[in-house]
A = this chain, B = another copy of it.
């Protein structure tokens, strides 16, 4: 079952700057680098709601990516500032889905749009998302 979410609360914007090593010989950001930007944004999205992924991981709970799709619209370039607009769009029993829009900060050009579904797992397998956790991730960011 998916739970209705408050779109405003569910959204954060996380800024990253493109590193030199994230480019390739086409002179633009390599397509795999966007996965790193999205991952940074997810961790930060959780932090702003009071959840430290590192602490979760120490307790053996992880959120691996189980599904991923991306459309590349325009290239991002070295040293550009990039805004990852990340929105929680679904909270299931054992998974969550985030949608992303990655834009150039300077002019708002959309570089990439996509989604990831993350399973909640522990050492034994799928890990039910608790009511408490679900309540927390429905909160707006605290800063």
Contacts and interface: CB of A to CB of B under 8 A. Distances in A.
A6 interface: no
A78 B25 contact: yes
A49 to B, nearest CB: 15
Main SS of the interface on chain A?
mixed
Interface string A55-74: 00100001011111111100
Nearest to A42: B20
Contacts of A21: 24, 30, 32, 35-36, 39
A3 interface: no
Interface in A1-53: 17, 19-21, 23-28, 30-32, 35-36, 39-40, 43, 52-53
